[in-house]
């Protein structure tokens, strides 16, 4: 099609339309002229010829044959009996309003699951959904087990959350004590940039409230040891945002503004092609900070003709 001129394409569309007007099937015409069905359809409509739609699956095989089929069978079995594709069986299933074979399988599996649950009611009592599913002799999804339990009017035990499992008596299961600082490093999960996590809550805040009670509104839970993973109550205290900023400066984690000479040098190196990650390592600043300096969002008074 790419090598044809405009006049040749017009002639081809005329030939396609004439062939369809003579009674040729659209799919046959498409294969004969080497075009798509959409092109055949456009050629017919352009020359006022009725588009010969492909025959319905119900017209290829007699209605009596379809009616005689057991529609509880799988699509592949019906397709093998009638020597047609599974896609054609799916099309006929939709035209007849028959339920999908997958829906029938799900329904049968749900009935089987519910029967097994009722038969083993005493065994599964007090088990979680996952434990029930693993104890079943056949494969089934958690959703199917959940629906079968609801249909049977049975309950299951919901798994405990981490925040419900941690207590003052068993906290040693979730920590590793480091020496000589005596930090309780949390091993139950992380949250944020290296901090301990208990579900959606910070671990050090959770443990502080576990031992010392609720933190007053407006206060933060801060570390004395400067170890984000530490949850030792003796290393924690409630303080303000100003206290947190003061600790950051005193412990050398606050860089301060970049010197004028470094800003000029940074922009010069970027103009020569050095990457932002490389500049971040060279000047010990975060990538967003380097990007802001280059774009002039910070240190605007020291642009000195550098790239914006």
Q: Which two tokens stand for residue 8?
A: 């040749």
Compare 60 and 207 and report the one with higher pLDDT. Answer: 207
Chain segment 272-286, per-residue pLDDT in tens: 889 988 998 888 888
How many Å apart are CA 177 and CA 102, to the nearest integer? 54
Q: Residues in the chain, how many?
A: 308
178 in the same domain as 134: no
Compute the radius of gyration of the chain from its Cα atoms: 36
Q: Are 188 and 174 in contact (CB under 8 A)?
A: yes
Same-domain check for residues 244 and 215: yes
Question: Does 203 map to a domain?
Answer: yes
pLDDT band at 307 (very low <50, low <70, confident <90, very high): very low
SS3 116: helix
Task: Give 251-260 pLDDT, tens digit per residue.
Answer: 777 667 788 8
Residues 87 and 19 placed together within one structural domain of the fold: no
Residues 175, 229, single domain; the answer is yes
Q: What is the pLDDT of residues 10-59, one digit of tens each?
A: 888 888 888 888 888 887 888 888 888 888 888 888 888 887 776 655 55
Shared domain for 168 and 245, answered yes or no, is yes
Domain ranges, residue 20: 6-46
**Rounded distance, CA 170 to CA 253, Å?**
34
Question: pLDDT of 106-160, one tens digit each?
Answer: 667 788 888 888 888 888 888 888 889 889 898 888 888 888 888 888 888 888 7
Say if 52 falls within a structural domain.
no
List of residues 6+ apart from 148 with CB closer than 8 A? 110, 113, 114, 117
| pLDDT at site 220 | 92
Residues 6 or more apart in contact with residue 23 via CB below 8 angstroms? 52
Q: 112 is written with which tokens?
A: 């089987």
State the pTM of this model. Answer: 0.45
The pLDDT of residue 235 is: 92
The pLDDT of residue 182: 87
Beta bridge mates, 255: none
* 307 assigned to some structural domain: no
- Verify that 188 and 240 share a domain, yes or no: yes
Q: Is residue 120 part of a domain?
A: yes
Q: Are residues 293 and 217 in the same domain?
A: no
296 & 269 share domain? yes
Q: What pLDDT sits at residue 106?
A: 67
Count how many domains the chain has: 5
């Amino acid at each position: 099609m790419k090598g044809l001129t405009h006049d040749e394409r017009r002639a081809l569309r005329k030939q396609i339309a004439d062939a369809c007007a003579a009674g040729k099937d659209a799919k046959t015409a498409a294969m004969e002229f080497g075009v798509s069905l959409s092109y055949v359809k456009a050629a017919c409509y352009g020359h006022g010829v009725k588009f010969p739609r492909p025959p319905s699956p119900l017209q290829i095989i007699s209605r009596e044959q379809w009616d005689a089929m057991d529609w509880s069978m799988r699509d592949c079995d019906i397709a093998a009996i009638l020597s047609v594709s599974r896609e054609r069986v799916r099309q006929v299933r939709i035209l007849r309003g028959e339920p999908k074979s997958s829906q029938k399988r799900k329904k049968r599996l749900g009935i089987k699951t519910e029967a097994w649950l009722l038969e083993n009611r005493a065994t599964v009592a007090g088990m979680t959904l996952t434990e029930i599913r693993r104890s079943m002799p056949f494969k089934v999804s958690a959703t199917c087990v959940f629906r079968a339990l609801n249909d049977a009017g049975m309950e299951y035990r919901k798994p405990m959350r981490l925040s419900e499992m941690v207590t003052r008596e068993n906290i040693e299961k979730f920590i590793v004590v480091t020496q000589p600082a005596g930090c309780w490093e949390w091993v139950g999960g992380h949250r944020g940039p290296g901090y301990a996590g208990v579900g959606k809550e910070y671990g050090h805040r959770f443990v502080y409230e576990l031992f010392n009670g609720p933190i007053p509104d407006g206060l933060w839970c801060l570390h004395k040891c400067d170890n984000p993973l530490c949850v030792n109550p003796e290393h924690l205290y409630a303080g303000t945002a100003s206290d947190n900023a003061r600790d950051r400066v005193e412990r050398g984690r606050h860089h301060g503004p970049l010197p004028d000479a470094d800003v000029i040098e940074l922009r010069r190196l970027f103009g020569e092609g050095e990457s932002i990650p490389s500049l971040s390592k060279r000047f010990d600043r975060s990538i967003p900070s380097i990007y802001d300096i280059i774009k002039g969002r910070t240190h605007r008074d020291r642009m000195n003709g550098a790239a914006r």
